[in-house]
Amino acid sequence: MLKKSNHLRTLLTLLLIVVPLLVCSCAPKEGSVAEEKEQPESIGIISAMDNEVKLLLSEADIDHVDTIGGVDFHVGTLCGQPVVITRSGIGKVLSASAVTAMLNQYRISNVIFTGIAGGVGDDTEVLDEVIATRLVQHDYGTMNNDGFEWSDGNTGESVGEEGYYYCDDELVDLAYDAATEIIGEEHVFKGTIATGDQFVASEEYVETLQDNFDAIACEMEGASIAAVCTQYETPFVVIRAMSDKADGNAHESYDNMGDIAADNSSRIVIHILKSIK
């Protein structure tokens, strides 16, 4: 009987140790796939600067803010739609980093990049709106003894065809319709946006962007957002209000019109969200 009693005590001790371990191992861990599946599918909204997200954040009902890599991701609803809104910072590196973090952390159905840009097209004027149909990195290439030679960068499946990244057709149509409602059809254009890590304020370079890429606007983030979204197979669109003409007066025009242009793009995003069912 003594041996049998010892065996029972040993068995009970093992059960007391093993069962809690099994329960803990089966429970969903923080950040696990099980937990992520409970997240709502959200629309990702990204801008480069504070004034480009100011209006959106003031209109949104923010539930909480996650800080990832020093970037704040505002999680909540806007116009009844679940959204994640962030300010990435200026340039291709920071914008690519922010959208990558967003797509890894949240369940994002599509991405809207909104903000301001320089008008490159002959027909575009300050405060006009450009909805990107495609984007290209105008500063991607090789610098040799003869100067800069652009390359399409076609080195893998993640790179857009012939160096271009194409926006989602449905999102382009939604953005165009929203923009025409907000500022009028005569002030809304669809076409190519050229992206590079430079603030363009040169008539000569404007002609280069027109001739080489058929661009009608230039800025510093759109193509990097497009490249990452293409890798992640996430639909996207880039919406830009013209703050300047990318010419010798670009800095002055940007200072005077930047905030107005940024708010116009934000109003278009709000109109898009109201249109999505």
Choose the catalytic residue: 41, 52, 162, 252: 52
Is 146 in the active site? no
Q: What is the DSSP letter of 172?
A: H
Query: For 177-199, how does the pLDDT look when each residue is reduced to its tens digit (9 = 90+)?
Result: 999 999 999 999 999 999 998 88
Is 50 in the active site? no
- Give strand ranges (E) for 40-152: 42-47, 61-68, 71-78, 81-87, 108-119, 129-137, 141-144, 147-150
Domains detected in the chain: 37-275 (3.40.50.1580)
Choose the catalytic residue: 129, 219, 221, 244: 244
Query: For 232-272, how does the pLDDT look when each residue is reduced to its tens digit (9 = 90+)?
Result: 999 999 999 888 766 555 555 455 566 888 888 899 999 99
pLDDT at position 74 is 98
Task: Compute CA distances 96 → 8, 48, 177, 200, 269, whole Å.
Answer: 61, 11, 27, 20, 20
Band the pLDDT of 7: cuts 50, 70, 90: low
Task: Compute CA distances 204 → 170, 201, 211, 248, 271, whole Å.
Answer: 35, 9, 11, 10, 36
Query: For 19-41, how does the pLDDT look when each residue is reduced to its tens digit (9 = 90+)?
Result: 444 444 444 444 433 344 567 89
